[in-house]
Amino acid sequence: MKWLRSVLLPAEGSQYARQVDDLYMFIVWLSVFFFVLIAGLLAFFIWRYRRRGPDEVTPHITHNFKLELTWSIIPLILVTILFVWGFHGYVSSVVPPKDALEIQVTAKRWLWEFEYPNGSRTINEMRVPVGKPVKLIMSSADVIHSFYIPSFRIKMDVLPNRYTQTWFEPLQVGTHVLFCAEYCGRAHSDMLAKVTVLSDEDYRKWLEFGDETSEQMPLKELGAMLHESRGCDTCHSLDGSAGLGTSFKGVFGTRRRLADGQSVEVDENYLRESILEPQAKLAAGYQPIMPTFQGLLREREISALIEFIKAQR
Ligand code: CUA
């Protein structure tokens, strides 16, 4: 019955997904069984005990002790099985193994930030090794978000001023989708990120050297990729339309009015400073909401973003 699973449910990406699906399919089959049984008996009784003539009178039956016990005890046993099975699954979803790899997750309007044990950070992409338990320690910088990976069958609220945690063990190398499942404002739907499951070796290499493809990419292309993957595009448009941040269109080389009344030329150093210390020279008319990218971008990536912004005519 593998095919039915794949019709009803998304692909199983984690150990936990299998546990959830086993129980889910048990409930599906249990429901099918009782649906057929009850609907079948209903139809049969309608036919069997139909009224045959005007004189026919239904016998007066007050109760049937054996029958009542049967229809109480069987469901009691079944719901007890469901409870124990479900509780067992719940416990295993909230108690991570002791040796789990820990990743810090921060949700912000409107992006996901991940910090790994060695201090590397990524935005809107979580990278994990295959076949190892991964524990997530999550908090929010602003409102309530919800961390949801359908193919891992995990969903956990991410709250400000408090840590929540969840864990998973990916089954195979590949990518999965991560959603925010709590309406958190205008760009809630942009909190769509990627989970990349790497082989153990690729994961270790990546932690050390960064992405191979990005190392070889021309600066402008790398910048275009980062503009999207780091979530810049959530606030900074390329077509001149106003967002939560200034548009990048034709911005390089212009003079910009700042919130404190001064003005500054938009050159490489200004862009660099604005990426690393966004509130140092805040553009007039905008809120100080951009997070710092200090430590989040490798040196080459900062240059790439600047080259990309320069190229927006
Ligand atoms: Cu964050 Cu919805």
What separation in Å is there between the alpha carbon of 293 and the centre of ligand 1? 20
Q: Which whole number is the average pLDDT over 262-282?
A: 91
What separation in Å is there between the alpha carbon of 145 and the centre of ligand 1? 5
Which pTM does this prediction carry?
0.66
Has residue 209 got a pLDDT over 70?
Answer: no
Query: In degrees rounded to 5, what are phi and psi of residue 149?
Result: -115, 100
Which residues neighbour 253 within 8 Å (Cβ) at sequence distance 6 or greater? 265, 266, 267
**Ligand 1: nearest atom to the Cα of 107:** 1
Has residue 27 got a pLDDT over 70?
Answer: yes
**Ligand 1: nearest atom to the Cα of 184:** 2
Chain center to CA of 280: 32
- Residues flanking ligand 1, CB < 6 Å: 107, 145, 180, 182-184, 188, 191
What separation in Å is there between the alpha carbon of 148 and the centre of ligand 1? 10
**Ligand 1: nearest atom to the Cα of 110:** 1
Q: In the chain, what are the helix, strand and coil shares in percent, each to the nearest 5?
A: 40, 20, 40
What separation in Å is there between the alpha carbon of 132 and the centre of ligand 1? 27
Has residue 103 got a pLDDT over 90?
Answer: yes
Q: Whose Cα sits closest to atom 1 in ligand 1?
A: 145
pLDDT digits (tens, 9 = 90+) for 141-162: 999 999 999 999 999 999 999 9
What separation in Å is there between the alpha carbon of 140 and the centre of ligand 1? 10
Has residue 1 got a pLDDT over 80?
Answer: no
Q: Which whole number is the average pLDDT over 239-262?
A: 89
CA separation, residue 194 to residues 22, 83, 98, 174, 224 (Å) = 26, 33, 26, 10, 17
Q: Where are the alpha helices (DSSP H) in 97-179?
A: none
Has residue 213 got a pLDDT over 80?
Answer: no
**Ligand 1: nearest atom to the Cα of 188:** 2
Pair 301, 234: CB distance under 8 Å: no
Pair 248, 236: CB distance under 8 Å: yes
Q: Which whole number is the average pLDDT over 170-182?
A: 93
